[in-house]
Amino acid sequence: MRGKVADVTFGKGVFWRSIDMSQYEFHPSDALTVPGRGYDFRALPYPDESFDIVALDPPYQHHGTRFHNATYRNADTTHHLDHDGIIDLYRDGMREAHRVLRERGAVWVKCQDEVQSTRQCWSHVEILRDALDLGFVAEDLFVMVQAGKPPPLGHQRQVHARRNHSYLWIFRKPRERELPALRRRGLFDLLRRLPAA
């Protein structure tokens, strides 16, 4: 049986360009860029427990910065959102991914830390907390380095490091029978040891 994959934030499909998707049952959708499949990733038209993988790559930056908007049309989906609003998008998307994933299915979550009003926002940590709270298990974390110079921060004086990398979390939906052992090992207790947002 072929794996069933939903990319619910398909955009221009850059993520899949080097992958032979013929071996998967592939379901791309995006609120703005996939005609006929303009689904909101927070309310997908898919049945419960119907996918093996969900790819979630929503806008990283609050207010849809000019740099990201030219490529990803972020301002169309993040207009008036602050950092907390971006994190809410991720949480709602992961909650919906949990619903449509089969047991042992995985959600791939791409994210990037950001700065808001000179305050460092550790998005990848906040997203980990939310994923654990929703019942996912953290399987892996990739650091994805972009070629070229990092984008400008938009401040006259640099206060924080510019980012030339993003993160790709791999979260897995555990089997029901795994949960007691995971709790005994304290996996979900990691929530209490992570810094607050």
Q: What is the dihedral of CA 99, 52, 31, 45, to 10 degrees?
A: -50
Domain 3-193 has CATH 3.30.590.10: no
| 64, 74 Cβ separation under 8 angstroms | yes
Give the domain ranges of the chain.
3-193
Instruction: Convert the pLDDT of each residue in 72-119 to its tens digit.
Output: 555 565 666 888 999 999 999 999 999 999 999 999 999 988 877 677
Instruction: Convert the pLDDT of each residue in 159-193 to its tens digit.
Output: 656 666 889 999 999 988 887 777 777 666 666 56
